[in-house]
């Protein structure tokens, strides 16, 4: 066998191994800014805020990803007694801490993003034919996350619910060159190990290499992102009109 043939075989096997590489990532939530310093709270409101933060702290999120696709979802909790009405309240309030979408599927080859979102008690499935552009600025600063070296990146994006630009800080892991991350926070030259949100820090708790194919969930009644944007814009206008 010639050197060229040997090289071609080695390249093919390496490429095949690289393409099949997949990971299961578990993220944990650390709520921040739960209570504003110096602010006086009604005892009932304070109890709800503290309770929802403690509930969110026990939430976990799972990301299954390879180099072509990823699927992100909340891990089901078996430790919650939903017959207790307080837990139902804490569960709903805790969603506002991360404000994550549900069942987020990403195709990195076709640049498509599909997710479901709870709006006014109803879930809508949305398909976005381009990724969010965070205009990532990669810094030299590094730190260790889950035993792996991570590098800092900062960016901005337009939040359609708050109707303004938001700053975002993420830490990605260059040694895992997969552009995945939790929810919509991806697109860096490495797996996102940590992301800083307005009310929480979401960070890798564990990561393992798996032999699994990432499959697209069976989404139904998918709406376009432009229709979704129009829906949210009208809802925001209605809320402003009612409360102003």
Give per-residue pLDDT as tens, 136-192.
999 999 999 999 999 999 999 999 998 899 999 999 999 999 999 999 999 999 999
What is the C-alpha separation between 156 and 168, in angstroms, rounded?
6
DSSP string, 43-98: HHHHHHHHHHHHHHHT-EEEEEEESSEEEEEEPPPSS--TTSHHHHHHHHHHHHHH
Cα separation, 163 vs 176, in Å, equals: 34
Q: Is 133 helix (H, G, I), strand (E, B) or coil?
A: coil
Q: Domain boundaries in the chain?
A: 23-243
pTM for this model (two decimals): 0.88
Chain segment 80-138, per-residue pLDDT in tens: 887 888 888 999 899 999 999 999 999 999 999 999 998 878 899 999 999 999 999 99
Condensed to tens digits (0 to 9), the pLDDT of residues 184-216 reads 999 999 999 999 999 999 999 999 999 988 989
Distance between CA atoms of residues 103 and 2, nearest Å = 49
In the structure encoding, which two tokens stand for residue 120, read together? Answer: 């006014």
Beta bridge partners of 128: 113
Phi–psi pair at 86, nearest 5 degrees:
-65, -40
Q: Is the pLDDT of residue 1 over 80?
A: no
Q: Which two tokens stand for residue 53?
A: 């933060």
Q: What is the pLDDT of residues 14-39, one digit of tens each?
A: 433 444 689 999 999 999 989 988 89
């Amino acid at each position: 066998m010639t050197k060229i043939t040997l090289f071609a075989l080695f390249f093919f096997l390496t490429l095949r191994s690289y393409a099949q590489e997949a990971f299961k990532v578990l993220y944990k939530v650390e709520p921040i800014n739960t209570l504003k310093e110096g602010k006086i709270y009604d005892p009932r409101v304070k109890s709800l805020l503290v309770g929802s933060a403690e509930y969110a702290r026990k939430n976990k999120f799972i990301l299954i990803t390879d180099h072509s696709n990823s699927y992100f979802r909340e891990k089901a909790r078996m430790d919650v007694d939903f017959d207790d009405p307080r837990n139902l309240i804490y569960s709903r309030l805790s969603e506002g801490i991360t404000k994550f979408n549900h069942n987020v599927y990403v195709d990195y080859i076709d640049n498509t993003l599909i997710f479901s979102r709870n709006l006014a008690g109803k879930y809508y499935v949305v398909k976005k034919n381009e990724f969010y552009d965070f205009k990532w600025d990669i810094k030299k600063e590094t730190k260790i996350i889950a035993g792996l070296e991570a590098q800092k990146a900062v960016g901005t994006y337009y939040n359609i619910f708050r109707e303004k630009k938001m700053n975002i800080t993420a830490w990605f892991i260059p040694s895992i060159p997969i552009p995945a991350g939790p929810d919509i926070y991806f697109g860096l030259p490495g797996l996102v190990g940590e992301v800083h949100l307005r009310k929480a820090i979401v960070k890798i708790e564990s990561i393992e290499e798996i032999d699994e194919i990432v499959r697209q969930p069976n989404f139904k009644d998918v709406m376009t992102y432009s229709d979704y944007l129009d829906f949210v814009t009208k809802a925001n206008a209605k809320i402003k009109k009612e409360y102003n």
